[in-house]
Amino acid sequence: MYCNACGKATAEDGRFCAYCGNVVGISPTPKKLMRSRADRKIAGLCAGLAEYFDLDISLVRILCFFIALATGVCPGVVTYLLAWIIIPAEPELRPVLAAQQPVTS
Ligand SMILES: [Zn+2]
């Protein structure tokens, strides 16, 4: 087994890396399929899928386009609309700059 953080070999039954202390074996943050807010074109579905499956976003968009083209409105577009409803959007990242600025009076 290898550490995801430093790449060094770790003990097979160990939960932490002996070199950097990183948790090994289990993913520290489980992946969750969510619609992307940052890279969205329509609903952020393609960006979310690309992120989830670790694929190139353009490749996912091209695939989605051709799947929709090949299958037509149903099920292609209907599936997209359903996924839009079912898959949650990733949490909104609010800018914190305004709160951190010192109050001048
Ligand atoms: Zn490590």
Write the pLDDT tens digit of every residue in 25-78.
Answer: 765 567 788 888 888 888 888 888 888 888 998 998 898 888 888 888 778 888
* Residue that is written with structure tokens 């577009």 in the block: 77
The rounded Cα 64 to chain-centroid distance in angstroms is: 17
Domain regions of the chain by residue span: 1-28, 45-86
* Tokens representing residue 81 in the block: 């609309």
What is the CA(10)–ligand 1 centre distance, in A? 8
What is the CA(54)–ligand 1 centre distance, in A? 22
User: Strand (E) positions, 27-90?
Assistant: none
What is the CA(24)–ligand 1 centre distance, in A? 8
What is the CA(9)–ligand 1 centre distance, in A? 8
Its pTM stands at 0.52
Confidence class for position 97, pLDDT limits 50, 70, 90: low
